[in-house]
């Protein structure tokens, strides 16, 4: 049976175990043979501390989450973030409009428009992730001849979009300053995306920034293309 491969959070070297289990429940953290530091210090940390370090975009925290845990919530997190973004767009579209009759047709029209916003947000995210993966596959896999695991990269990109959940409190508490808040949240998400790429590929900051910028350009082009669609097609997308 093939041993599970972990990564040292300090130097990114491979390791076969994070800790050694002795008798009487005694655990000893494995020391990395390369840097002579604990392979993963975060296995003793509280999850709140790990989350804070991840928010601060610390490389060690990202390595712990992406390599040394069996965290498989990236698709659920992706759907939740898309719902947050769809709610933001839907709320900005209608503002504070309220219907006096909860059963009238306007209420259901607005509900279908929310689903349309969800579809548009999913389209833009697909354009972003697709262009990033394509660029890294061409640059690292084809030009440099390196190995690249696209599924792990996609997981890292989706997990690093967790900052989008801040869209909801930004709308609720900072409605008057929403442009500034939304810009800062977008910058934070892109920074997390860049850090996730660096951790997975162990690459330079320049390469990760190039990939994120290309993804942002593709996402913007997809959004502009949807705006330029004929009105009949836009009505179909936004119901």
Q: How far apart, in whole angstroms, are the C-alpha atoms of residue 155 and residue 75?
A: 8
| Range with lowest mean pLDDT among 5-14, 91-100, 110-119 | 91-100
Q: Note whether 14 and 7 are within 8 A (CB).
A: yes
pLDDT at 15 over 70: yes
The radius of gyration of the chain from alpha carbons, rounded to an integer in Å, stands at: 21
> Would you place residue 154 in the very low, low, confident or very high pLDDT band (cuts 50, 70, 90)?
very high
Output the pLDDT for position 18: 87
According to the model, what pLDDT value does residue 1 have?
A: 38
Q: Who wins on pLDDT, 216 or 226? A: 216
239 vs 224: CA distance, rounded Å: 18
Task: Please tell me the predicted confidence (pLDDT) of residue 105.
Answer: 45
Confidence check: pLDDT of 232 > 50: no
């Amino acid at each position: 049976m093939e041993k599970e491969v972990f990564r040292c959070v300090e130097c990114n070297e491979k390791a076969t175990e994070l800790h050694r289990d002795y008798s009487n429940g005694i655990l000893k953290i494995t020391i990395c043979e390369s840097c002579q530091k604990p392979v993963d210090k975060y296995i003793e940390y509280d999850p709140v501390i790990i989350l804070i370090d991840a928010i601060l975009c610390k490389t060690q925290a990202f390595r712990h989450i992406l390599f040394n845990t069996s965290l498989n919530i990236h698709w659920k997190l992706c759907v939740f973030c898309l719902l947050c973004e769809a709610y933001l767009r839907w709320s900005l579209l209608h503002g504070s409009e309220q219907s006096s009759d909860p059963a009238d047709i306007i209420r259901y029209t607005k509900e279908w428009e929310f689903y349309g916003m969800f579809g548009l947000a999913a389209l833009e995210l697909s354009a972003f992730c697709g262009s990033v993966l394509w660029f890294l596959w061409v640059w690292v896999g084809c030009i440099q001849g390196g190995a690249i695991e696209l599924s792990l990269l996609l997981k890292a990109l989706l997990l690093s979009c967790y900052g989008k959940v801040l869209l909801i409190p930004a709308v609720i508490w900072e409605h008057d300053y929403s442009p500034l808040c939304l810009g800062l949240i977008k910058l934070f998400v892109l920074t997390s995306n860049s850090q996730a790429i660096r951790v997975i590929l162990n690459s330079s900051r320049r390469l990760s920034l190039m990939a994120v910028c290309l993804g942002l350009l593709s996402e913007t082009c997809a959004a502009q293309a949807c705006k330029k669609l004929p009105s009949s097609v836009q009505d179909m997308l936004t119901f």
